[in-house]
């Protein structure tokens, strides 16, 4: 068990953090199954009016660890358990952390761009970033590991199709955040697979994108509201 934890330490730490935050939100909501929307807002859910008008940009980070209910949490953590361990096997831990966090942050910005007055939460944007990074890895090394790459890309396509179908049939699923996280993760996975030192380039690029979007977000929010 100790060896398993040490091998996939970051994945298990992310899962543990999500569960800890969920327990706190469940306690404050007085409900273990469904969370109170007011509690989620107070704990840092994404919400355009608070983010833009009150400069509460920290919500981009906190929203990644909040979930609306037990089903939402378990589905995301099961996905992270499966894909996170794969990513942790292929990349350095600092790369894994960077891809996970940047994917979640950008996914949050994309979500707010598409739904400026909706409340949004969940780790799915970051998790889709993990999936995207794995796809980037296999694409970067497709010539060296042709069979494995071909098999993964086939499974990857199936996963994307399933999520697209779910996204179009279940209104509560924010496909924009999923796509945003997926693209950010893919770019990170591909770049770092080409050269691990490019993690710093990736980090600077994502930081500039996030800051640039935040800078222009106020104008877009005002247009959407009025």
Q: 3-state SS of the chain?
A: CHHHHHHCHHHHHHHHHHHHHHHHHHHHHCCCCECCHHHHHHHCCEEHHHHHHCCCCCHHHHHHHCCCEHHHHHHHHHHHHHHHHHHHHHCCHHHHHHHHHHHHHHHHHHHHHHCCCCEECCCHHHHHHHHHHHHHHHHHCCCCCHHHHHHHHHHHHHHHHHHHHHHHHCCCCCHHHHHHHHHHHHHHHHHHHHCHHHHHHHHHHHHHHHHHHHHHHHHHHHHHHC
Q: Highest-confidence range of 48-57, 82-91, 178-187, 216-225, by mean pLDDT? A: 178-187
Is residue 3's pLDDT more than 80?
Answer: no
Is residue 104's pLDDT more than 90?
Answer: yes
Q: Which has more confidence, 176 or 216?
A: 176
Q: Which has more confidence, 2 or 133?
A: 133
Is residue 223's pLDDT more than 90?
Answer: no
> How much is the pLDDT for 220?
60
Is residue 166's pLDDT more than 60?
Answer: no
What are the tens digits of pLDDT across the range 174-206? Answer: 788 889 999 999 999 999 999 999 999 999 999
> How much is the pLDDT for 114?
87
- Rounded to two decimals, the pTM is 0.90
The stretch 104-112 carries a mean pLDDT of: 94
Q: Which has more confidence, 12 or 75?
A: 12
Q: Which has more confidence, 161 or 212?
A: 212
Give catalytic residue positions: 124, 178
> How much is the pLDDT for 168?
61
Which domains are present in the chain?
A: 2-221 (1.20.1540.10)
Going by pLDDT thresholds of 50, 70 and 90, the confidence category of residue 53 is confident
What are the tens digits of pLDDT across the range 124-134? Answer: 899 999 999 99
> How much is the pLDDT for 193?
94
Mean pLDDT across the chain, nearest whole number?
87
């Amino acid at each position: 068990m100790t060896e398993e934890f040490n091998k996939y330490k970051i994945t298990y730490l992310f899962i543990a953090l999500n569960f800890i935050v969920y327990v706190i939100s469940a306690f404050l909501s007085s409900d273990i199954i469904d969370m109170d929307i007011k509690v989620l807002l107070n704990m840092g859910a994404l919400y355009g009016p608070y983010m833009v008008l009150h400069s509460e940009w920290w919500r981009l980070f906190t929203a990644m660890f909040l979930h609306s209910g037990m089903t939402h949490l378990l589905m995301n953590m099961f996905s992270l358990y499966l894909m996170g361990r794969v990513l942790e096997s292929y990349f350095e831990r600092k790369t894994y952390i960077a891809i996970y966090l940047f994917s979640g942050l950008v996914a949050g910005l994309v979500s707010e761009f598409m739904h400026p007055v909706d409340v949004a939460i969940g780790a799915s944007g970051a998790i889709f970033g993990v999936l995207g990074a794995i796809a980037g890895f296999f694409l970067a090394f497709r010539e060296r590991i042709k069979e494995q790459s071909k098999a993964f890309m086939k499974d990857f396509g199936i996963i994307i199709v399933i999520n697209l179908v779910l996204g179009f049939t279940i209104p509560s699923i924010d496909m924009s955040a999923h796509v945003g996280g997926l693209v950010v993760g893919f770019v990170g996975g591909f770049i770092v697979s080409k050269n691990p030192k490019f993690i710093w380039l990736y980090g600077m690029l994502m930081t500039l994108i996030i800051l640039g979007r935040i800078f222009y977000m106020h104008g877009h929010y005002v247009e959407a509201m009025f």
